[in-house]
Amino acid sequence: MEIQRSSELDLLKKLFKDNPIVAILGPRQCGKTTLSHQFSRPLSLEVTIFDLENPRDIERLRDPLLALEDIKGFVIIDEIQRLPNLFPVLRVLSDRSKQTKYLILGSASRDLIKQSSESLAGRISYLEIGGFSLKHIGIQNLERLWIRGGFPRSYLASSDVSSYQWRQDFIATFLERDIPQLGLKIPAKSLSRFWGMLAHYHGQIFNASEVGRSLGVSDHTAQRYLDLLSGTFMVRQLRPWYYNTKKRLVKRPKIYFRDAGILHALLSLENKKDLLSHPKLGASWEGFALEEVITNLHLKEEEVFFWAVHTGAELDLVFQKKGKLYGIEVKYTQAPSLTPSMRFALKELSLKHLWVVYPGKDGYSLSKNITVIPLAVLDKAIAF
């Protein structure tokens, strides 16, 4: 079964109007290759594909300029981070001919693929994707998406058991093979322990010193491990919102696993029954809902924040649109009510509006600028 990603396909069309090279970035197995094929099939151009996990294709690109210079049409290069020497060649070729377009796919962020931003400045656009979201699979499948996560093979598995096994295998492969392939020399056992600890920090403030002591490493090393997992799109570091105030603000990042299914696998939660009785139930829903909000509103990593003061008031998500500041609060309850923290955040941050996202079915107003909305109708409920 192949699910069409219509919104991403439309974005790709727009990006190629601006630049001859577009990079699709996202975690391994999230559907980048499928999306590239969905985009290239209708084209009236000849399509050439290189998969850099295939030894034959790596051999073909041993002399990249010779291999690519005579190709016209549309070129797809998968797992580009494995041959970073291709970036200067793509710069030369894109300047030399306007007849060829390049779609490159990578499983590491722009910070880990530094060559692309340095060599291809002014010639490349980026599209970051994750696994499936509600806009792909429909609100009737919300619970399945939450439990299994959005990785296509996990979500589409024949059973919860098969889905859970796929995620366990994915985690092992990621730690033992994918991380070393990025050239990062971190022992798999150390990273595995660290990842397990992060699962318990999901939805909480990251304490590098505490984690470092538990692992027997420095706080700088613990932060480096976190940055690594953030760079591979597995973990989101939500930065605190800073502004001019005399109040004591929380200044460390808040941690979320981007995919709820991976979080559940790390916590050994095989199905809905396991999750509903687990202490991380509310935090799991919070991370799942926040990722849906960020995806639905097309917010970039550098555009999203959380807000908290040491007196206890906090807000799960803060972002700007059209020069105004907005807030999102996530509640795993059937009837969210107005709280002092919401009132304080609205006034302190001068929010244009605050939405409270919950798993229920009905939307309603809590005050003039605070509205409760179901996650299932997110795209219809939030407007600017």
Residue pLDDT, tens place only, 297-312? 989 889 999 998 877 7
pLDDT of 24 reads: 94
User: Is 185 among the domain residues?
Assistant: yes
Confidence of residue 342 (pLDDT cuts 50, 70, 90): very high
Phi, psi angle pair for 83, to nearest 5°: -135, 75
Q: Which residue, 107, 128, 149, sits at the end of a domain?
A: 128
Tell me, yes or no, whether 105 and 147 share the same domain: no
User: Is 65 among the domain residues?
Assistant: yes
Is residue 244 classed exposed, middle or buried when 0-12, 13-18 and 19+ CB atoms within 10 A define those classes?
A: exposed
Q: Which residue, 100, 128, 156, sits at the end of a domain?
A: 128
Per residue in 58-116, pLDDT (tens digit) is: 999 999 999 999 999 999 999 888 888 888 899 999 988 888 999 999 887 666 566 66
Angle CA(42)–CA(31)–CA(1) in degrees, nearest 5? 75
Tell me, yes or no, whether 214 and 311 share the same domain: yes
Tell me, yes or no, whether 106 and 146 share the same domain: no
Tell me, yes or no, whether 155 and 291 share the same domain: yes
Residues of the chain with pLDDT > 70, as a percent, come to 95
Tell me, yes or no, whether 51 and 158 share the same domain: no
Question: Range with the lowest mean pLDDT among 11-15, 85-89, 202-206?
Answer: 85-89
Per residue in 22-59, pLDDT (tens digit) is: 999 999 899 999 999 999 999 888 999 999 989 999 99
Residue 224 is part of which domain span?
134-381
Question: Range with the lowest mean pLDDT among 1-5, 293-297, 302-306, 317-321?
Answer: 1-5
User: Is 153 among the domain residues?
Assistant: yes
pLDDT of 114 reads: 61
Query: How many domains, the chain?
Result: 2
Tell me, yes or no, whether 105 and 150 share the same domain: no
CATH number of the domain where residue 30 is located: 3.40.50.300
Tell me, yes or no, whether 148 and 51 share the same domain: no
Q: Which residue, 128, 152, 175, sits at the end of a domain?
A: 128
User: Is 54 among the domain residues?
Assistant: yes
User: Is 1 among the domain residues?
Assistant: no
pLDDT of 189 reads: 83
pLDDT of 117 reads: 62
Q: Cα(76)–Cα(162) distance, rounded to whole angstroms?
A: 31
HSE, CB side, 13 Å, CA atoms: give it for residue 44. Answer: 0
Tell me, yes or no, whether 163 and 115 share the same domain: no
Q: What is the mean pLDDT of residues 112-137?
A: 82
Tell me, yes or no, whether 47 and 169 share the same domain: no
Its pTM stands at 0.92
Q: What is the mean pLDDT of residues 263-289?
A: 96
User: Is 295 among the domain residues?
Assistant: yes
Tell me, yes or no, whether 102 and 175 share the same domain: no
Q: Is the pLDDT of residue 383 over 90?
A: no
Tell me, yes or no, whether 165 and 288 share the same domain: yes
pLDDT of 215 reads: 87
Confidence of residue 8 (pLDDT cuts 50, 70, 90): very high
Q: Using an 8 Å Cβ cutoff, are 288 and 264 in contact?
A: no
The mean pLDDT of the chain is 91
Confidence of residue 231 (pLDDT cuts 50, 70, 90): confident
Per residue in 239-249, pLDDT (tens digit) is: 999 876 666 67
HEC-encoded secondary structure of the chain: CCCCCHHHHHHHHHHHHHCCEEEEECCCCCCHHHHHHHHHCCCCCCEEEEECCCHHHHHHCCCHHHHHCCCCEEEEEECHHHCCCHHHHHHHHHHHCCCEEEEEEECCCCCCCHHHHHHCCCCEEEEECCCCCHHHHCHHHHHHHHHHCCCHHHHCCCCHHHHHHHHHHHHHHHHHHHHHHCCCCCCHHHHHHHHHHHHHHCCEECCHHHHHHHHCCCHHHHHHHHHHHHHCCCEEEEEECCCCCCCCECCCCEEEECCHHHHHHHCCCCCHHHHHCCCCHHHHHHHHHHHHHHHHCCCCHHHCEEEEECCCCEEEEEEEECCEEEEEEECCCCCCCCCHHHHHHHHHCCCCEEEEEECCCCCEEEECCEEEEEHHHHHHHCCC
The amino acid that residue 24 corresponds to is I
Tell me, yes or no, whether 91 and 158 share the same domain: no
